Amino acid sequence: MRFIKPQEPILVLEPPVSDDWLHEIKFDGFRTQLILDWAGARAFTRTGIDWSKRYWPIVAAVEKLPAKSLILDGEVIAPDPDGRPKFHRMHSRMAWNAELLAFVAFDILHLDGWDLRSLPALERKAMLWDLVKPAEGIIQYSQHVVGGGAEFYAAVDKMGLEGMVSKRRGSPYHSGPSDIWVKTKCWEIGDFELLGIRREPGKPPQGIMARGGKYAGSATVALTREMRERLWERVRKGRTPPPGLPKAISKAEWLKPGITARVRYLRGEPKLRHATVQDFSEEPDKVRRQPSNKR
């Protein structure tokens, strides 16, 4: 069997609340498709790259499932002892401790010669559970709830997880982006270095952000008029952009160093997304002390 392009959830800012949806945790790892047939088991990335050697314990585990052929959709994670995924441990475990990885299965596309993609999502989940139960250890099962999207989101946020994925309970499996799968991410608030401001006609100003000296993305400057005026006073005319920034944002008004912005942004993104500046603070000017004549 061949790799199937995965279905992709679209990002929404509020979870669906009707009982027509089932909800799962959005696991912070690498999207993976497992295929088992007469040639053995293989593991593929979301773009179809064969990572079977990197995920060799998972590949070995799927060969022990009670099926002659299958295609599973899921996420490879690096779980802590309490089961929470830790994305920053993925690369080291792939290189040195692949047996500490886990595959969280959340869909099944083929089973023993049958194409299951036209079945409702809830039926596919039931077939998946029958295949992988008790789903402990290296092959795990993505639990779900039906309805109660707002409550599920609140629980995910309280646990400090990245977010949730919601799927219409009666929907088939369609490759590519689709609004029958949606993802809702949780929010974080943190401090960033404010490097500059980019202003375009008809658009709100965007702050150019960094963290630890590295470019982190941009955030809408949603401040009061008084705070914006204070910010514009820090613009350094003629200042060149800091090193390491993408060329696409080279045209901006660069600020004097020492401004820290409090930013609200989506959790679990490599760069700031849907971010807004809520406040900012300035480092007080350093007063140069005069040398003392006292001994």
Q: What angle do CA 8, 12, 15 make, to 5 degrees?
A: 105
- How far is Cα 104 from Cα 72, in angstroms, rounded to an integer? 10
- How far is Cα 86 from Cα 168, in angstroms, rounded to an integer? 28
- How far is Cα 95 from Cα 103, in angstroms, rounded to an integer? 16
- How far is Cα 20 from Cα 179, in angstroms, rounded to an integer? 13
Which one of the listed residues 26, 125, 167, 183 is annotated catalytic? 26
- How far is Cα 145 from Cα 228, in angstroms, rounded to an integer? 45
Q: What is the largest CA-CA distance in the chain?
A: 91
- Cα–chain center distance at 295: 60
Which contiguous run of DSSP H or E holds residue 152?
helix 149-158
Catalytic residue list contains 26: yes
Closest by CA to 72, choosing from 44, 33, 122, is 33
- The end-to-end CA distance of the chain, in Å, is 85
Catalytic residues: 26
